[in-house]
């Protein structure tokens, strides 16, 4: 078992262990988990990123989720090396045993970049003091996350029920949005913290009457007797985002790292979405890397809104709707204590967005949506 302080080499996995664990328990992550790795308290900043050097290896951590499988495939197919060589940087992809651990490693400064949801980028590294940049928005969940009721197809019937989920994660956020759509609030239900590894088994327990989870667990539960999906992430499009975040100081020290990562990403997406044997072969390889088959992987992609081209991703990131969605996510996070015990206001953490817009404290920006590299790709300048 990892204690959260291993080197990147020690967190590389030889096989498939967990799937997109989005649970971020505030106490564990912002206090215990990161503190054990020397996370600074209060507003103290982590150690400065190393200066760019020819022999420095930039480490990118990934975990298993349909929208993130292009990364390990690109490494396997030689696409990572191609772009790294082009820009004179050295990049190493490492698989971490679970999602929360990968965020811990990034927050502690042990890896340079990591795949992350928008909410978790805010509540883990940003809340912990690490200044991070969203290099690319890869996709948004478009049905990959859902609320299941046992024995009822009416969302309103969730009132008064116990709901199993990974508390303080995007599953908790999805539940809040589902309740809001039915004129209900979180106090109208009782949440039961349940790990992603146990969520499918939990459905079979007599006392379980409702749960929230994500694919592939969601599809497994949905197929069970008496299960009814009454709300899913397709009803809140663009709110649960999957991104690649990079340490801001590291990116500033060597912009070529950002160019290489962006080139890797969009070349791989272009390949995997081709309607020919090459595209099918790429997706089949990604399926194998994630522990499923091509049919299963393609099924997960159907509920993943991939921004296949940099032009599409750029349009999404520069749309005013991102500001509204980010504001909603940050307010939820603060209200549920995910900014840490020292946070006094939702504005304690600054978030910069395209067009010069800043949510929160402009003097304490710790999460940056920077369209620079997507723009380079969209303009054919990589």
Average pLDDT, integer, range 87-101: 90
DSSP assigned state of 129:
T
pLDDT tens per residue across span 5-39:
443 333 333 333 333 433 433 333 333 333 333 33
What percent of the chain lies above the pLDDT cut of 90? Answer: 73
pLDDT tens per residue across span 138-181:
999 999 999 999 999 999 999 999 999 988 788 989 999 999 99
Backbone angles phi, psi at 343, to 5 degrees: -70, 130
Listed in order, strand segments (DSSP E) in the chain are 57-62, 90-95, 113-117, 132-141, 145-150, 162-165, 190-193, 210-214, 227-232, 241-247, 304-306, 350-353, 357-359, 365-369
Instruction: Count Cβ atoms below 10 Å from residue 2 Cβ, excluding itself.
Output: 13
Strand partners of residue 212: 147
Q: Are 65 and 287 in contact (CB under 8 A)?
A: no
Length of the chain measured in residues: 382
Q: What is the CATH number of domain 8-140+240-378?
A: 3.40.190.10
33-37, 148-152, 182-186, 234-238: the lowest-pLDDT one: 33-37
Q: Do the first three CATH levels of 8-140+240-378 and 145-235 match, i.e. the same topology? A: yes
- Taking every pair of Cα atoms in the chain, the longest distance, rounded to a whole number of angstroms, is 60
Describe the crossing of helices 70-77 and 277-289 by its angle, rounded to 10 degrees. 110
Q: Are 48 and 247 in contact (CB under 8 A)?
A: no
Residue 182 has pLDDT above 80, yes or no: yes
- Pairing state of beta strands 210-214 and 145-150? antiparallel
pLDDT tens per residue across span 328-357:
999 999 998 888 888 899 999 999 999 999
CA 13/CA 77 separation, integer angstroms: 18
Q: Where are the domains of the chain?
A: 8-140+240-378, 145-235
Question: Tokens for 128?
Answer: 């912990």
For domain 145-235, give the fold: D-Maltodextrin-Binding Protein; domain 2 (3.40.190)
Mean pLDDT of the chain: 86
pLDDT tens per residue across span 128-145:
999 999 999 999 999 999
Q: Is the backbone peptide bond immediately before 159 cis, with ω within 30 degrees of 0?
A: no
**In the Cβ-directed half-sphere of 318, how many Cα atoms lie within 13 Å?**
12
CA 51 to chain centre: 27
């Amino acid at each position: 078992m990892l204690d959260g302080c291993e080197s990147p080499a020690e967190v590389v996995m030889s096989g498939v262990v967990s799937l997109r664990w989005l649970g971020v328990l505030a106490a564990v992550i912002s206090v215990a988990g990161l503190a054990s790795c020397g996370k600074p308290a209060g507003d103290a900043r982590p150690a400065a990123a190393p200066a760019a050097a020819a022999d420095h290896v930039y480490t990118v951590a990934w975990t298993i989720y349909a929208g993130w499988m292009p990364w390990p495939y690109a490494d396997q197919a030689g696409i990572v090396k191609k772009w790294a060589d082009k820009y004179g940087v050295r990049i190493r992809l490492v698989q971490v045993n679970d999602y929360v651990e990968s965020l811990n490693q990034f927050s502690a400064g042990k890896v340079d970049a990591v795949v992350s949801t928008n909410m978790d980028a805010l509540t883990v590294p940003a809340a912990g003091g690490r200044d991070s940049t969203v290099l690319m928005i890869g996709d948004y969940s478009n049905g990959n996350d859902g609320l299941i009721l046992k024995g009822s197809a009416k969302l309103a019937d969730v009132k008064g029920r116990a709901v199993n989920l990974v508390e303080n994660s995007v599953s908790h956020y999805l539940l809040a949005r589902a309740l809001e759509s039915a004129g209900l609030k979180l106090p109208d239900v009782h949440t039961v913290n349940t790990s992603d590894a146990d969520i499918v088994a939990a459905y079979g327990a007599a006392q379980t009457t409702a749960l929230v989870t994500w694919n592939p667990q969601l599809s497994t539960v949905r197929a069970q007797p008496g299960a009814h999906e009454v709300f899913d992430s397709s009803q809140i499009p663009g709110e649960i985002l999957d991104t690649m975040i990079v340490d801001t100081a590291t990116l500033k020290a060597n912009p070529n790292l950002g160019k290489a990562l962006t080139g890797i990403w969009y070349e791989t997406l272009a390949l995997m979405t081709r309607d020919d044997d090459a595209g099918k072969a790429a997706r089949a390889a990604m399926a194998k890397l994630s522990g499923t088959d091509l049919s299963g992987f393609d099924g997960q992609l159907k509920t993943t809104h991939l921004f296949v081209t940099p032009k599409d991703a750029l349009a999404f990131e520069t749309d005013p709707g991102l500001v509204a969605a980010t504001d909603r996510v940050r307010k939820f996070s603060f209200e549920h204590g995910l900014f840490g015990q020292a946070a006094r206001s939702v504005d304690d953490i600054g978030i910069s967005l395209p067009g010069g817009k800043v949510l929160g404290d402009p003097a304490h920006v710790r999460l940056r949506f920077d369209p620079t590299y997507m723009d380079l790709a969209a303009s054919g300048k990589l």
